[in-house]
A and B are shown apart, each in its own frame.
Chain A
């Protein structure tokens, strides 16, 4: 019924391996994209700025992390540090007079170079060692940012983001900032969607499945792991810069703590490792669920007049991230993307459940 397959006959490998073999998917994506573009016209300022904008930016970041964790199978617990490097580089660059667009790219490049240094150290080992090394990277980068006044603008200081100018035009409105984030998000999404169809993406998957098997068929695991670290850190740096410029409009060390890294990891796992769509679902659930749950608990407490202190409310996000990670790993390791996939498979042949697709 939906996702209809009637009349779709692939007669060449080229057409069978297109990005969207089912036209419905393409139209659905275009419709969602069109909705996202015109969203500022029908959403209130509050919804745009505090729900949709962070969702778009965090989905970008989750896509970058998913490239590393889902595609290449490398664990990274210091992603917030990568984003922090990008944010600080971009803000310092733009303050020094570099155009905004180049500042974003500079942020990505510096992140990817530093990320690569840590990745190279970590890639001599794997599994637990990689997790622990990236954890160490997070705390070292945190420490350097706080303790080097040239970077942070003094201890505990906030560095204001300078005004954004795109192609010489100043961008001052909320809508403008949202569209910048959306453009970056669309670019990253199309990169990741297509990565799966390139030799690069297939090499990453080969390395993830078994690195020495990949080496035997001529895919250098070391090289592709480094490339994955490079790409992922680049995307993370750009996402961090966009987060600082478009959402916070300032940057402080607290925005990129270990908790934020964990949040990013939660997005990838909840969404689904290795799924582009899943990164969007995961970012949405991880960002929005604490807000809704907080409101829900507050409402229940108010209606039943239960004494729920602010202490309980302030710990809900952490409990939720942990609970979501544990729950999804135990019960649906492929994440929300798999749940969507199940629904989609159901609707392939609905209402004829006996038909095979």
Chain B
């Protein structure tokens, strides 16, 4: 029986972490849906969110209830700023250029934020108790539980958002940019909003993950996990992001423990990469993606 409880514990904690990956991946999917651009700056945006939260809560001493909404709002504008100042100039350029641009922004932020705020790992306390939640024989990390629930709520909000007027415009833009233009939707504005939402998702994930593992540049490594989730989920499906996040989170928590018994240690870091590789080889359009990805 112990093994089943152990498996349940690992899976439950993994699933909660996976929900947080989904939150970061949500930004990639939103931007890809609206403009077909790969957002490789998402990891650095998450890191920026963590640093801003640290600056607001610890340096300025703002209370949690005021500081976090402020940071999330700032991240919305950070996302929009990235789109307005960099991506909009690149409309019509080859895909390779746009991907490189977002990667360049990622690297720039990854260097700039630690240079400004200091590169020592910072503790970010957002008022979550350290004691684990005990469900019968299963121990669940309270910080993971809170993060998972918040992530789930935000992804749910994103789904609801697509039912609003603004969200329907976004859906129209993702379907056909020229046609949206013709019926009077401001396509640039819609793309800007999708970047803003990506900033919010990244910022929230950065705050949550930063409160768990501390704030430093390693927060931007969430990019690889988020990319794995986005690709496994199919790049243009929000439900896909949710499912793929759970899959990756559980795999990443369970597989290394069992592989270690066969003498293969330290596989945790490589799970996300293997998921990317296997998805691209076996099912490039992911679990829920449309099957029209261009192939050679």
A residues with CB within 8 A of B: 69, 73-75, 77, 121-129, 131-133, 135-137, 139-140, 143, 147, 211, 221-222, 225, 262, 265-266, 269, 309, 311-312, 314-326, 329-330, 333
Cβ of B269 within 8 Å of any chain A Cβ, yes or no, is yes
Answer whether A124 and B108 are a contact pair too, CB < 8 Å, given A325-B103, A330-B89.
Answer: no
Within 8 A of A (CB), among B254-291: 265-266, 269-270, 272-274, 276-277, 280-281, 284
Are B296 and A69 interface neighbours, CB within 8 A?
Answer: no
Residues of A contacting B100 with CB < 8 Å?
A: 75, 265, 269, 325, 329
Minimum CB distance partner of B285 in chain A: A125
Extra A-B contacts (11), CB below 8 Å, given A124-B296, A311-B115: A121-B277, A126-B95, A128-B32, A129-B284, A132-B231, A139-B224, A143-B266, A315-B111, A321-B107, A325-B101, A326-B86
Q: How far is the CB of A135 from chain B (nearest CB, A)?
A: 7
Taking each of B40, B96, B265, which has the highest tally of chain A beta carbons within 10 Å of its own beta carbon?
B96
Q: How far is the CB of B103 from chain A (nearest CB, A)?
A: 7
Cβ of B80 within 8 Å of any chain A Cβ, yes or no, is no
State the CA gap A136–B101 with chains docked (Å).
19
State the CA gap A327–B134 with chains docked (Å).
52
Are B280 and A322 interface neighbours, CB within 8 A?
Answer: no
Minimum CB distance partner of A74 in chain B: B96
Are A319 and B115 interface neighbours, CB within 8 A?
Answer: yes
Residues of B contacting A133 with CB < 8 Å?
A: 276-277, 280
Cβ of B45 within 8 Å of any chain A Cβ, yes or no, is no
Are B95 and A128 interface neighbours, CB within 8 A?
Answer: yes
State the CA gap A74–B95 with chains docked (Å).
10
State the CA gap A125–B283 with chains docked (Å).
10
Answer whether A326 and B108 are a contact pair too, CB < 8 Å, given A131-B38, A140-B277, A311-B115.
Answer: yes
Across the A-B interface, the 7 shortest Cβ-Cβ residue pairs: A322-B108, A318-B111, A325-B104, A322-B107, A319-B111, A128-B38, A315-B115
B residues with CB within 8 A of A: 32, 38, 40, 86, 89-90, 93-97, 99-101, 103-112, 114-115, 118-119, 224, 227-228, 231, 235, 265-266, 269-270, 272-274, 276-277, 280-281, 284, 293-296
Are A143 and B270 interface neighbours, CB within 8 A?
Answer: yes
Are B86 and A140 interface neighbours, CB within 8 A?
Answer: no
State the CA gap A319–B90 with chains docked (Å).
21
Are B270 and A124 interface neighbours, CB within 8 A?
Answer: no
Residues of B contacting A325 with CB < 8 Å?
A: 100-101, 103-104, 107-108
Answer whether A131 and B119 are a contact pair too, CB < 8 Å, given A124-B295, A126-B294, A329-B100.
Answer: no
Residues of A contacting B112 with CB < 8 Å?
A: 315, 319, 322
Minimum CB distance partner of A220 in chain B: B296
Are B97 and A311 interface neighbours, CB within 8 A?
Answer: no
Are B93 and A333 interface neighbours, CB within 8 A?
Answer: yes
Are A322 and B101 interface neighbours, CB within 8 A?
Answer: no
Which residue of B32, B86, B111 is within 8 Å of A330 (Cβ)? B86
Minimum CB distance partner of B294 in chain A: A126
Minimum CB distance partner of A329 in chain B: B101
Answer whether A147 and B293 are a contact pair too, CB < 8 Å, given A311-B119, A322-B106.
Answer: no
Residues of B contacting A126 with CB < 8 Å?
A: 95, 294-296
Are A211 and B296 interface neighbours, CB within 8 A?
Answer: yes
Answer whether A322 and B110 are a contact pair too, CB < 8 Å, given A132-B231, A139-B270.
Answer: yes
Residues of B contacting A324 with CB < 8 Å?
A: 104
Are B118 and A127 interface neighbours, CB within 8 A?
Answer: no
State the CA gap A131–B96 with chains docked (Å).
9
Minimum CB distance partner of B89 in chain A: A330
Residues of B contacting A312 with CB < 8 Å?
A: 115
Are A132 and B276 interface neighbours, CB within 8 A?
Answer: yes
Minimum CB distance partner of B99 in chain A: A131
State the CA gap A132–B235 with chains docked (Å).
12
Residues of A contacting B265 with CB < 8 Å?
A: 147
Are B107 and A262 interface neighbours, CB within 8 A?
Answer: yes
Q: List 10 A-B contacts (CB under 8 A).
A: A133-B276, A136-B224, A140-B270, A221-B296, A320-B111, A323-B108, A325-B101, A326-B101, A326-B105, A330-B86
Residues of A contacting B90 with CB < 8 Å?
A: 329-330
State the CA gap A218–B269 with chains docked (Å).
43
Are B276 and A147 interface neighbours, CB within 8 A?
Answer: no
State the CA gap A312–B113 with chains docked (Å).
10
Minimum CB distance partner of A225 in chain B: B296
Residues of A contacting B104 with CB < 8 Å?
A: 266, 269, 321-326, 329
Q: How far is the CB of B57 from chain A (nearest CB, A)?
A: 21
Are B96 and A69 interface neighbours, CB within 8 A?
Answer: yes
Are B106 and A122 interface neighbours, CB within 8 A?
Answer: no
Which residue of B94, B109, B272, B276 is within 8 Å of A322 (Cβ)? B109
Are A147 and B266 interface neighbours, CB within 8 A?
Answer: yes
State the CA gap A136–B228 with chains docked (Å).
9
Minimum CB distance partner of A138 in chain B: B273
Are B96 and A73 interface neighbours, CB within 8 A?
Answer: yes
State the CA gap A147–B265 with chains docked (Å).
8
